[in-house]
A and B are shown apart, each in its own frame.
Chain A
Amino acid sequence: MTEWPFNQRVGSTFFIDAEEKLLEGRRGMVLVVGPQHPGSGHMRLFVVLDGDLITEVVPDPGFVHRGVEKLAENRPYWTLIPLVEKASIMDSANITYPVVLALERALGLEPPPRAKYLRVLMAELSRVRTHLYDMALLGIFLGHSTAFMWSFAIQDLYAEVFAKITGARTTISYAVPGGVRRDIKPSHVELVEKLLAKTEAKLRDFKTLFLDNPVTRARLEGVGTLDAKAVAELGVVGPFARASGVRYDVRKVHPYDAYGELDFEIAVEKAGDAMARTLVRWREIYTSIDIARQILKSLPESDVIDQALLFKNPEYRREGISGVLGVYTYIYPELGEYHGMAEASRGLTYVQLFTTSSQRLYRMRLVTPSWRNLRAMVEAMRGQRLADMPAVYMSFGYFPPEADR
């Protein structure tokens, strides 16, 4: 018999406050959900239960904290992209977008129009994929394993297409300062078109079986309702704010890259419950498919990298980025403070860069949507039943690595 190997000092992962302290005089019991729990993800929730009702939820995130902000202080700026995208691997095209935008401002680079369109294309495909991923987890949290399997099956097609276009299935690092890493080939255009058609065809069945399922509706409707005021006060972002009727989408409000030239409507729901949060994302999948189609139709012909990056060798244009990455070592950012903002799948992502005169940053601030939504998620769980906890959890698409960074 060996002893319990973990220390339980204050501040250690294995230290938990006494139940009485968590209860704060309330009656009931504290259920510890996570980290080794099928319904917690990489986090821990202290759920104060009064019978079947949740009176309080104390989240304990940070189990997958990687220290992205700290790591960013000590490395050259062009390695920020693969660093940041690990926070939200499914959403890698979107989560790195603000970093790229901020770096472009710092470096004074301007991507050519074709690159702008291609970035948006990948961002939207990535959005579809992330929404499907979240839909899958919502399904399995409600006990619907078919929704899980189908979503993951469709989602895997995106991984395959990403691999063909960018060379990586998940962490694609597609957008780089001043352009994109690889140009898209005509065969790829065809591939993406096929992918979109396939997605639409499969999603019809998915809707019948999962979203229109009476049991799913019973589980999601009227659960974890937040009104527009609460959403605004809690600082909710993305589809979860739009589900409560807050019409805010960075793609519309501060259009970046090609979004200003594209014609699309943002999905807004009024109800503010778990079903609305799911439906907004469901409708966004179709919006994204529509945007992707528009891009494929009106893809401008031009370089995919800024001219400024070709001074070493104009052939880099054709070879793609492998040479250009070397060129970054010759470019220095302007000293100052830059920011980038983009609408990731789960909401607004904000990056603030404090550059030095060297190629290393003084500081990077990264605000991710899951972190912003955590408070609201916990608020929405309060007063619901224990069985609603996973439903509310995944209706916010909460992704612990993204929140913990």
Chain B
Amino acid sequence: MIAFALFLVLLAIALGALVLVGYLLAPKSPHVAKERRFEAGNPPFGEVKRRLLMQYVGYIYMVTAIEASAGLMVVVALWRGVVSLDVALALATALALIAIYVVRYLEKVADVKKWS
């Protein structure tokens, strides 16, 4: 526990010191142009937060559904340390369901036209 705290604190101190040293040593000549948003050499323009890659939101949905079951599988695998028949059957069923679900909907999810 002490080692863990030490590890975190030391890492934070090392990184923080690096930034601080850089801040203290590096020259400073602030300029409006430097402190603006990077816009490929242009003055900042337009709104930033707009429809961002929404075409792929189907994948996000699949992850939210399947990741939880994958987490459950980790728990099951660690549960007793032995793979009994019921555990194996449950795992196989879950995997089969995932496979069917993905095979059934992957085309639909990957079709950008449907999502825009």
Q: Which residues of A contact B (CB under 8 A)?
A: 1-6, 8, 14, 16, 18-19, 27-30, 32-37, 40, 44, 49-53, 385
Q: Report Cα–Cα, A79/B48, bound state, in Å.
A: 49
B99 on the interface (CB 8 Å rule)?
A: no
Could you say which residues of chain B place their CB within 8 Å of the CB of A37?
A: 40-41
On chain B, the number of residues with a Cβ less than 8 Å from chain A's Cβ atoms is 23
Among B26-34, B67-75, B82-90, the stretch in contact with A: B26-34
B81 on the interface (CB 8 Å rule)?
A: no
With A2-B31, A3-B32, A4-B33 known as contacts, the answer to whether A52 contacts B56 (CB < 8 A) is yes
Q: Closest residue of chain B to A8, judged by CB?
A: B43
Closest 3 CB pairs between A and B? Answer: A36-B41, A19-B46, A37-B40
With A32-B40, A35-B41, A36-B41 known as contacts, the answer to whether A51 contacts B46 (CB < 8 A) is no
B47 on the interface (CB 8 Å rule)?
A: yes
> Is the Cβ of B40 less than 8 Å from the Cβ of A53?
no
| Chain A interface SS verdict (over half) | loop
Could you say which residues of chain B place their CB within 8 Å of the CB of A33?
A: 40
Q: Closest residue of chain A to B53, judged by CB?
A: A52
> Which of B30, B45, B116 lies in contact with A50, CB distance below 8 A?
B116
With A3-B32, A52-B112 known as contacts, the answer to whether A28 contacts B50 (CB < 8 A) is yes
Q: Report Cα–Cα, A37/B41, bound state, in Å.
A: 8
> Is the Cβ of B53 less than 8 Å from the Cβ of A32?
no
Could you say which residues of chain A place their CB within 8 Å of the CB of B42?
A: 14, 16, 32, 35, 44
Could you say which residues of chain A place their CB within 8 Å of the CB of B31?
A: 1-2
Q: Report Cα–Cα, A212/B55, bound state, in Å.
A: 30
Could you say which residues of chain B place their CB within 8 Å of the CB of A40?
A: 40
With A1-B31, A28-B51, A29-B50 known as contacts, the answer to whether A51 contacts B116 (CB < 8 A) is yes
> Is the Cβ of B41 less than 8 Å from the Cβ of A2?
no
> Is the Cβ of A50 less than 8 Å from the Cβ of B51?
yes
With A1-B31, A4-B32 known as contacts, the answer to whether A52 contacts B40 (CB < 8 A) is no
Could you say which residues of chain B place their CB within 8 Å of the CB of A30?
A: 45-46
Could you say which residues of chain B place their CB within 8 Å of the CB of A18?
A: 45-46
Q: Report Cα–Cα, A2/B29, bound state, in Å.
A: 10
Q: Report Cα–Cα, A43/B42, bound state, in Å.
A: 12
Provide 24 A-B residue pairs closer than 8 Å at the C-beta atoms, listed in order of the A residue: A1-B30, A1-B31, A4-B32, A4-B33, A5-B33, A8-B43, A14-B42, A16-B43, A18-B45, A18-B46, A19-B45, A28-B50, A28-B51, A29-B46, A29-B47, A29-B50, A32-B40, A34-B41, A36-B41, A37-B41, A50-B51, A52-B112, A53-B55, A53-B116
Q: Closest residue of chain A to B56, judged by CB?
A: A52
Q: Report Cα–Cα, A34/B74, bound state, in Å.
A: 47
Could you say which residues of chain A place their CB within 8 Å of the CB of B40?
A: 32-37, 40, 44
